[in-house]
Amino acid sequence: MKQHPYWLKKRLDFNEGFLKTKAILKRFGVNTVCESSRCPNSVECFSKNFATFLILGTRCTRSCRYCSVRSGIPQPPDIEEPRKVSDSVVEMGLKYAVITSVTRDDLPDGGSSQFVKVVEAIRMKAPHIKIELLVPDFAGKLEEAQKTAQSRPEVFGHNLETVQRLFTYLRPKADYRRSLELLKSVKDKNSALITKSGIMLGLGEKEEEVVETMGDLREGGCDLLTLGQYLRPSADNVPVVEYVPPDEFKKYREMGMSMGFKHVSSGPFVRSSYFAEESYNELMEVSYGKCRVAAAC
Amino acid sequence: MANVVLPPLAEGVDKANVSYWHRSIGDAVKEGEDLVELVTDKATFNMPSPLSGKLKEILVNDGEEAKVGQVLATIE
C-alpha cells in the first residue's frame, strides 16, 4: 500500500459508539453504503452514531468503474426493509437520516416505491427526523424520480459523480444529461425542495470541466454541492489519477458559492453524506434563520 | 499489561499496513497521543494510544501488514 499525501491522513476516531451502531445495524439487518463503499469516514461516522442506509439490496445492476458495490442480479426488494430501516433510525436516535440505494434497472419503477415506503415508515415512527434521499437515475424515468420527491424528503440528492467527458468510461450505463435533467425536473416541479448533487475529484477531470459541471447543476437549480477526493476502493477499481490538494477544494467551494449554490462542502474526505446533517443545518440557519417555520411566518 | 489491537479502520476493510511507529520500545506513551500510523487503500490513519504506560513490545513492525483484531503492541 502506498503512502497518501499528508491531507489524506486522519486521526482514527474509534469509540464505543462504533460498536453500538454496528450492533443496531446488524440487529435490524440493514445495509449501509459506508460498508459497501469501504468509506474511510465510516469508523468516525459510526462512532458518532451516524450511518447512510443502503436500500434495495447490496447488488447493483450497474458497474461504475470507481464503485466497490458489487454488481450482479439483485434480490427482489425486501418488503420488511422500510420497517427495518425506520427501526434502525429510531434506535440510533438519528435526527437526520440519509437513505440511498443501489441502482435497480431490473425493477419497473427503479425502486422508487421502496424509497417512498422507507420515508413513510420513518415519518410514521418519528416525524421529527429529517430525511435526505440520494437516489439513482431511475434509467431516466422522471416520473419515478418525481414520486420519490413527492415523499417530501428535506433534501433530494442525485450525484453526477464525475464530469460529462468521463461518463462514458466511468459510468457506461449512466448519462450526464439524463442525470442533470432528473435534478432539474424535480426542482421544476417542487421548487421548495432542496436538491443536492456530488462530484468526485481526482478521476482525471480538468478544472474547466468541474466548473462547467457546477454551472450545469446550477442551471437546473441545484442547491447543495459536495466535492470530495476519489479514493480507490480496491484493485478492481480505476486508479486515482490525481490527489487534489486542499487549496483546490477550497477554491472550488468559493467558486460554487459565487455561482449560487446555497451550500458547498468541498474537501478531500467529503462524501455526499459526510456531515450531511451539519450541512443541512448550516443551510437552514443561513437561509431561514434558526427556525425554518419562524422564517416563513 | 495491555494489548494494542488493530481496530476497524473503515467498514469493509479488514487489514492495514503499519507504516510508522511514533514511539519506540521502552518509550513512555500517553493515552490519546499518536502511537502508530496505519495505511489502507483509501487513507492513512493515526491511531492514538489507548492508554498511558510504557511501550513494551512492538509485534507488527513498519511495513508489515496486520488484520483487524490483531495485537500490534503491548503497553505496561
What is the rounded end-to-end Cα distance, in angstroms, of chain B? 4
Residue A1 banded pLDDT, cuts 50, 70, 90: low
Query: C-alpha cell of A272?
Result: 455526499
Summarize pLDDT for A31-47 with one digit per residue, the tens. Answer: 999 988 888 898 889 98
d(CA A267, CA A261): 16
Tens of pLDDT, residues A201-225: 999 999 999 999 999 999 999 999 9
pLDDT greater than 90 at residue B42: no
B44 to A12: CB separation less than 8 angstroms, yes or no: no
> What does the pLDDT read at residue A187?
97
Nearest-by-Cβ selection for A233 from B9, B17, B42? B42
What residues in A contact B68, CB-CB < 8 Å? none
Query: In this structure, what CATH number is given to the domain that contains residue B54?
Result: 2.40.50.100
A197 with A218: CB under 8 angstroms? no
The number of domains in chain B is 1
Domain range annotation of chain A: 13-296
Interval A155-184 mean pLDDT: 98
B10, B37, B45 ranked by CB distance to A38: nearest = B10
Does the CB of A4 have a partner CB in chain B at under 8 Å? yes
Q: Is B39 within 8 Å of A1 when comparing Cβ atoms?
A: yes
Selection from A107, A25, A27, A17 nearest residue A60 by Cα: A107
Assigned C-alpha cell, A89 = 433510525
CATH code for the structural domain at A13-296: 3.20.20.70
ipTM, two decimals, is: 0.84
Report pLDDT for A177: 98
Higher pLDDT, B42 or A252: A252
- Residues from chain B that touch A43, judged by Cβ atoms under 8 A, are 7-11
Residue B68 near chain A (CB below 8 Å): no
Domain membership of residue B57 as a residue range: 2-75
